Structure 1
Amino acid sequence: MKAEDKHKFLKISQDIIQKIEAGDYLPGDKIPSENEIISNYRVSNTTARKALLEIETKGWARRIKGKGTFVLNRTQDRHLLRTLGSIGDTRIGFHEKLKAEGFEPRNIILEKTILNEGVSSEINGKHYIIEGPALLVRQLRCANDIVMKDETKYISLTLCPKINILPTDISYYKIYEQRYQLGQLHITQTLGTDIFKPDDPENNFESDVLIPVFILDSAVLTSNDKVVELERSYYRGDKYRFAIIAGNEL
């Protein structure tokens, strides 16, 4: 490789690393692909590949075959950042997001059943209803064997027939879009807080001390406001940070 080419791939890798350090790319975000680097920096595919390898070798990102190269979580306390109102975050899904950040995800299914009578939830002072039948899935979401999230979802089997036969580590949002062709979806969410005691019946975080939790209530709606999904989830408050964006991003 010529010295000039070597300088180029180091310059590109440093440029992307600086953007990661500045927060332009967050843990779990995909950094520019080989083709995007070729286009953006006007370099050869060899130089682009070397730049990505340099970023990965220095521990800033990890390549997942067939998906891309993603920013690793290098924060000292290993907090996970999630963004309310972000369709992008929701579309990726919990399991895939953890893998992209360098964690080993695992699900523990507590309950999976069909509710013939349906279900309702109040979010932001408004009632949202899924007429039966609805799929109920409650599972613990783990990262490196630590329970991070206690998640309960209700999904319309009228809008999503036979979704109950699919595995639970998928991005349901992607399934709504791609398999069931539900069109442009939008989300309404609220975030609250609480403290769980070790003996609290709702506490599945295996903690023997008081633990702060975030409580997320959300509804996924079609363009004509049919309710596809309702969710109530508890997140470990000592493992998560939440950001908020104005409006839904596509």
Structure 2
Amino acid sequence: MTKPKFIVISEGIIEKIKSGEYQPGDQIPSENELIKQYRVSNTTARKSLLDIESKGWAKRIKGKGTFVLNRTPDHHLVRTLGSIMATRRGFHDSLIAEGFRPKDLVLEKAILPDGISTEIGGKHFIIDGPVLKIHQLRYADEEIIKDEIKYVSLKLCPNIHKKPTEISYFKAYETTYRLKIEEVKQTLSADITHPESKDNNFDLKQATPVFILDSAVVCANGKVVELERSYYRGDKYKFAIVANPEYHNTDPES
């Protein structure tokens, strides 16, 4: 018995999810993209997406698209270094796309009159003052999974301190401030956080590995718009790497 076309399409996309071609949080083809790719009607395309969602592989977010849910047995979050699209989407929207409930707890939000500098991968990066500093804890389903410290240039992004902290700052750089991003420099290291450590913001009860991600977002004129140091719980995260990513600075649509 021949399967309906919408089942053939949905099963093909589900196989791509199972194989890892589509990762948790990734957007699967839209209704219009399925129509073009498979030359089917909008009814067939819509039924394909509904079938994928009804089987628990993806979730539709109104006005944004359909995204792969996190079905890993241990609910590890996969983050991809070198992926501009993942960086552009932002932490908050990525969690929602994967089916988690995000929450932020701001520990510090301040304007530093002087600049700030750091070394990433053997290279110095400097932001001239004034600088916005945001230190916040990021939650997924009421559990702290990321301790994030971000510095943003107020010269390049005036009044960004008035925006809510859960936004995708990267997207704001591109769309609100029309900055042309040239490079995102990232390095990943690892350490052990102990319960008695003064830096233990995760409320850990036992020694736990953490990933430390240092990053710099650099504009086309060599100006640094953002520096970040974030700590990710090693028992909650896995990291992947994109080799030789191609970056196109376009206005994104979530």
The verdict on a shared fold, with TM-score over 0.5 as the criterion, is: yes
- Given the alignment, which residue of 162, 176, 179 partners 2:176? 179
Residue by residue, what CA displacement relative to the aligned partner does 1:165-222 show, whole Å, maximum 9, x if unpaired?
Answer: 0000000000000000011331011111000000111111111101100001110000
Name the residue aligned to 1:112: 109
Q: Does 1:44 align with 2:41?
A: yes
- Given the alignment, which residue of 219, 227, 230 partners 2:224? 227
- Given the alignment, which residue of 224, 229, 244 partners 2:241? 244
Gaps of 5+ in 2: 248-254
CA distance in 2, matches of 1:127, 1:30: 35
Name the residue aligned to 1:78: 75
Question: What's the secondary structure of 2:85's corresponding residue?
Answer: helix
Question: What's the secondary structure of 2:181's corresponding residue?
Answer: coil
CA contact (8 A) 2:214 2:228 kept: yes
The alignment's TM-score, normalised by the length of structure 1, stands at: 0.96
CA contact (8 A) 1:85 1:249 kept: no
- Residue 246 of structure 1: how far off its partner (Å): 2.3
Question: What's the secondary structure of 1:35's corresponding residue?
Answer: helix
Name the residue aligned to 1:90: 87
Question: What's the secondary structure of 1:160's corresponding residue?
Answer: coil
Cα RMSD after superposing both structures: 1.2
* Residue-pair matches, total: 247
Residue by residue, what CA displacement relative to the aligned partner does 1:18-65 show, whole Å, maximum 9, x if unpaired?
Answer: 111111111000001000111111111111111100000000000000
Name the residue aligned to 2:25: 28
Name the residue aligned to 2:152: 155
Question: What's the secondary structure of 1:230's corresponding residue?
Answer: strand
CA contact (8 A) 2:9 2:48 kept: yes
CA distance in 1, matches of 2:45, 2:82: 33
CA distance in 1, matches of 2:181, 2:229: 22
